[in-house]
Structure 1
Amino acid sequence: MAETILGLAAQNLLSPIILFFALGLGAALVRSDLSVPEAAAKALSIYLLFAIGFKGGVSVNGHGIDAGLLMSLLAGLVLSFAIPFAAFGLLRVMTSLSTIDAAAVAGHYGSISIVTFVAATSVLQSQGMASEGYLVAVAAVMEAPAILSALWLASRASSDGTGQSGRNSGLWREIMLNGSIVLLVGSFVIGFLSGPKGLAEIESFIVAPFKGVLCLFLLDMGLVAGRGLRASAKELRPGLIGFGILMPMIGSVAGLAAASLIGLSTGGTVLLMTLSASASYIAVPAAMRVALPEANPSIYLTMSLGITFPFNLTIGIPLYLSIAQAIGG
C-alpha cells in the first residue's frame, strides 16, 4: 500500500491544481507582489460553489431519494457534531491552547473544506472512479453542526456555565445565511429541480471550464495560506503542527467507518473520508467572529488553511484513496 500511496501522491503533486496552489504558497512566502484581486477571488468562489451544488443536485435527480441518501446525511450530521470533541481532547493533550482557542480550532475540524472536497472529486475523476453525487448535500449539512459543538466546549470556560448564550443572537443568522452555504444549497436544489435537461443547457459553462477555474482559485488559496504562515509563524509550535497533520487522519478513520456502515462505493468512501478529514476556512471562521470573538483567528485560520489544507491536498487524499481501495477492492 505504501508504494500505491507514494505513487498517487506523486501523481497528485504534479496535477495543475496542486502546482498552482504551490505557486501561490511559494510566491507569498518569498513576498512576491503576485495577488488575485479580491473581487476576482470572490467570483471564482461563487463559480465553484454554483457548479458543485448544481451538478450534485442533478446527480440526486437521476439517483432519486433513497435510504442511502438519508443515511449519508445522518452520518454527516453525526460526524460533524462528534469530531470537534475528539479534536478538542487532542488539542488539550498536544498543545497549551486555552479552552476558548482549543474549542474554536476544534470547530473548524468538525466542519468541512469544500475545496478539499472538490480536489478529491478531481482525483477520483482522473482515476476513472465514480461516486455518489448526493455527497454534495452531505458536505452542506456538515458545515454547521461543528459550530454548536465548539460553542458547548467553549461554554465550559465560563464560570456560570452559560457560556456564549448572551452573544448568540446573530450566530444562527451567520451560520444559516452564510453566503457559501446559501449558494451551495440553493444551487443543489436548482440542479435537483432542473435535472439532466437543465445541466445540458449550461454544461459548457460549468463542466469544461471547471478545472481551470479551480486552478486559479487554488492559486489564490496558496497566496492566502502563505501569507498566513508568514504572519503567524510564531504561533505554530510543534504541538499545533502535529495536530494539524494527525487530526485529519483521525477524522478520515471516522469517515471510513461511517462509509462502511452505510455501504458507500469506493469513490463515495474517499469523499466522506475527505470531508471528515478537512477543516473549514470559510463558514466556521465567520461564525467564530460572532460567537467567540476572543478566540485568536491567527491560530485557527492558519491551522486549517496553512497546515491541514496543504496536507490533505498533497498527502491526505492519496492516502484516503489508497485505504478505501484496499478495503473496498
Structure 2
Amino acid sequence: MTLDPVVLFFLLGLFAALARSELKLPPALYETLSVFLLLAIGLKGGVALAKTGSPQVLLQVLLVILLGTLLTLLAFGILRWRLNRADAAATAAHYGSVSVVTFAVAASFLARQGIEAEPQLTLFLAVMEMPALVVGVLLARLGDGQQLRWGQLAHEVFLGKSMVLLLGGLVIGWLAGPTGIVSLSPLYVDLFKPVLSLFLLEMGLLTAAKLGGLRRQGGFVVLFGLLVPLGFACIGLGSAYAMGLSAAGGLLLATLCASSSYIAAPAAMRIAVPEANPALSLAASLGVTFPFNLLFGIPLYWMLTQWLYA
C-alpha cells in the first residue's frame, strides 16, 4: 500500500530538518494553515450534521466526553510510575486530548478509498479536547494546596483558538447547510489536501526539533508514546463498535483516541500547570506519537477495524 502524498510531505520536512537543511516556512504561514484546517474540518462536519440531526448523537457525545476523561486517567496512572505529579498530569492531558491534524490525515486516508464516516465525528473531535484538559489540571492540583485559576483555565479551554475555529466552523456549516456552503467549496473542500500537505511539511520540521528532548528523558517516554496509542486506539475502536458507528467512524474514533494534542493542551497546561516541563510532553506527543500514527498507526487501526467489523 502506497503512502498518502500528504504523509510524504511530512517525511520531507522531517528529513530536511534532520539533514540540517535551511528549509523553513514563515511563522505567519504556519498560523494561516492551521486556521484554514480547523475551519475546513468544522465546516465539513457542520454541513454533514445538517443532513442528519439524530437525537442519538447527543448520547454519543456524552459517551465520548466520558471516554476522553477515562483516557486521561489511564495515561496519568501509567506516567506516575516514572514522572512527578505535574509532568504526569500535563502529559496525560496531551494524550487524553486529540490531534486535529492526525484526524485530518485519517479522514484523507478514508477519502482516498471513497469511504465516508458519520458527520458527528467532527463534533467528537471538538468535545474530546475539553475533558482531558480539565482532568489534567485537577490531577496536577490534587493535594498540592495551590489555588486554581478557573477563570483563566476556562477561557483557555473554551475560547482557545482551536476550539473557537472548530466549533465556529461546525455551527456555520450546520446553519448554512449543503446548499449555502457551495460557494465556499473551491477553497475549503478542493484545496483541503494541498493545504494539509504544506502543514505537514512544517510539522515534519517541528517534529525533528523535538526529538532532542527524547534523548534527555530516556526510553520510558519513547515506549509510552508508542504503546499507549495502540491501547487507546483499541479502546476507541471498541467504543465505536458499541455505539453502532460504521467502520469508517470506528477508524476515526480509534485515531482520535490514539492521537495526542500539541496545540490546545500545551497552551492550557502552560497557564494551568506552569511547573510542568513542556519539553517532555511535546517530545512524547510530537516527537513519537504523531509520526507513529501518521506512518504506521492509521493503516494498522484500519486493519483492526476491518477485522472487528468483519
TM bracket (short chain): over 0.9
Q: Does structure 1 retain, via aligned residues, the 8 Å contact 2:30–2:199? A: yes
Q: Secondary structure at 2:245's aligned position in 1? A: coil
Q: 2:28 aligns with which of 39, 46, 64?
A: 39
Which residue of structure 1 aligns with residue 130 of structure 2? 144
The CA deviation string for residues 222-248 of structure 1, in whole angstroms up to 9 with x for no partner, is 111111113x24334111100001111
Tell me, in whole angstroms, the C-alpha distance in 1 between the residues paired with 2:269 and 2:7: 29
Q: Any stretches of 5+ residues in structure 2 without a counterpart?
A: none
* Paired residues, number: 310
**1:261 CA displacement:** 1.3
Q: Which amino acid aligns with 1:261?
A: A
Alignment map for 1:17-36 (pairs within 5 Å): 17-36=6-25
Alpha-carbon displacement from aligned partner over 1:154-211 (angstroms, at most 9, x marks no partner): 12351x4xx4x34343111111110111011001000000001122121111111110
Residue 263 in 1 paired to residue 244 in 2? Answer: yes
* Separation (CA, whole Å) in 2 of partners of 1:108 and 1:233: 16
Contact 2:93 2:136 in 1 (8 A): yes
Partner SS state of residue 188, structure 1: helix
Gaps of 5+ in 1: 1-6
Q: Which residue of 1 aligns with 2:66?
A: 78
- In the aligned structure 2, how far is the partner of 1:113 from the partner of 1:305? 10
Give the Cα–Cα distance (whole angstroms) in 2 for the partners of residues 176 and 243 of structure 1: 28
Q: Tell me the equivalent position of 2:277.
A: 296
| In structure 1, distance between residues paired with 2:191 and 2:44 | 14
Q: CA–CA distance in 1 between the matches of 2:37 and 2:281? A: 24
Q: Is the 8 A contact 1:147 1:287 kept in 2?
A: yes
Runs of 4+ displaced beyond 2 Å: 165-169, 233-236
Could you tell me which amino acid in structure 2 is paired with residue 72 of structure 1? Answer: Q
For 1:197 and 1:167, how far apart are their aligned partners in 2? 44
CA separation in 2, counterparts of 1:213 and 1:166?
A: 39
Question: 2:57 aligned with 1:97, yes or no?
Answer: no
Structure 1 CA distance for aligned equivalents of residues 183 and 142 of structure 2:
52
CA distance in 2 between counterparts of 1:169 and 1:60 reads 31
Task: State, as a whole percentage, how many aligned pairs show the same letter.
Answer: 46
Q: Does 1:107 align with 2:93?
A: yes
Tell me the C-alpha RMSD between the 2 structures.
1.3
User: SS at 2:80's partner residue?
Assistant: helix
Structure 2 CA distance for aligned equivalents of residues 15 and 137 of structure 1: 25
For the pair 1:133 / 2:110, whether they are aligned, the reply is no
Kindly indicate whether the alpha-carbon contact (under 8 Å) linking 2:4 and 2:109 is maintained by their aligned counterparts in 1: no
> Could you say what secondary structure the match of 1:49 adopts?
helix
Determine the C-alpha separation between the residues in 1 that align with 2:5 and 2:288.
Answer: 20
Structure 1 match to 2:142: 156
TM-score (norm 1): 0.91
Distance 1:218 1:48 in 2: 11
The whole-number CA distance in structure 2 between the counterparts of 1:123 and 1:274 is 11
Equivalent residue for 2:195, pick from 189, 209, 213: 213
Q: Which residue of 2 aligns with 1:16?
A: 5
d(CA) in 1 for partners of 2:6, 2:140: 36
